[in-house]
Amino acid sequence: MEGRSRSEKGLSSVRNAARLLKEFSRHDRELGVSELARRLDLSTSSVHRILGTLTEERLLDRVPTGRYRLGLALFDLGSAVGAALDLHEAALPVMAALRATTGETVQLAVLDGLESVYIDRLESPHTVRIFSRVGTRLPATTTSTGKVLLAALPEAELATRLEAWRPHRATPRSIVDPAVLRARLREVAERGWAENREESRIGVMSVGAPVRDRADVVIAALSVAAPTDRAAPDVLRRLRAAVVEAAAVVSHRLG
């Protein structure tokens, strides 16, 4: 019972912090302790504690008058949300056209540590499909999107991330040698696209290309995935050309 009570208290504190942040608006840019306590029906001591924590995390700033306003960390979070929405809006029509052109599954991924995270996906209309879902995470070293995103990292950042790499042989074709991986990433950076030939799953291949923002920074990767029995060399060349062109169109739409 004691553990449950402590958990419930923690959740209540989080809820109160969220309620407090929502009190700030265009019309109420700065608010004081007493006013917040009155609005939230909380004691001033409770509001003081919440304000202290939120200020330490840069979610709020304390101004010289003693009142509080939204902090820069919230601006950063809002910018991240805006960027994600911009990416989705820019990519989705292009992804639909790419699927129509290729007849294969089209995916959009971002990098999280050493994982490719699929944030948008349009499934192939074929009977034989590549089953997965939005939110799926795969080792970046085994996917075309992941290799595109890793290859775009500054050398120092790539080295730092690879220090935590624990190679996993998902298939006999998975890369597990750091030297081989680095050589492959250099090739990807030079040519502007990456392949995955049954490195994450037997019977599945993909080709990916980088999506860049208005500052020319790679922020995502677009890929086409298909069963290997539908990917003869001439088909693979067409898929590669199509995904490179589509990724460039998304990049153009972003800025």
pLDDT tens track for 97-147: 999 999 899 999 999 889 998 988 898 876 545 556 677 889 999 999 999
What is the pLDDT confidence band of residue 4, given thresholds at 50, 70 and 90?
very low
Residue 6, pLDDT score: 45
pLDDT mean across residues, the chain: 87
Whole-model pTM: value is 0.68
Distance CA 223, CA 152 (A): 16
DSSP assignment of 151-193: HTS-HHHHHHHHTT-----SSTTS---HHHHHHHHHHHHHHT-
Residue 48, pLDDT score: 94
Q: Are 184 and 150 in contact (CB under 8 A)?
A: no
For the cut 60, the answer to whether the pLDDT of residue 5 exceeds it is no
Distance CA 251, CA 255 (A): 7
What backbone phi and psi angles, to 5 degrees, belong to 137?
-115, 135
For the cut 60, the answer to whether the pLDDT of residue 11 exceeds it is no
Tens digits of per-residue pLDDT, 151-200?
A: 999 999 999 999 989 988 889 999 999 999 999 999 999 999 999 999 98
Tokens encoding 106: 């089209």
Ordered by where they begin, the domains of the chain are 2-70 (1.10.10.10), 79-253 (3.30.450.40)
Tokens encoding 223: 């890929």
Tens digits of per-residue pLDDT, 205-216?
A: 999 999 998 889
For the cut 80, the answer to whether the pLDDT of residue 218 exceeds it is yes
Distance CA 217, CA 207 (A): 20
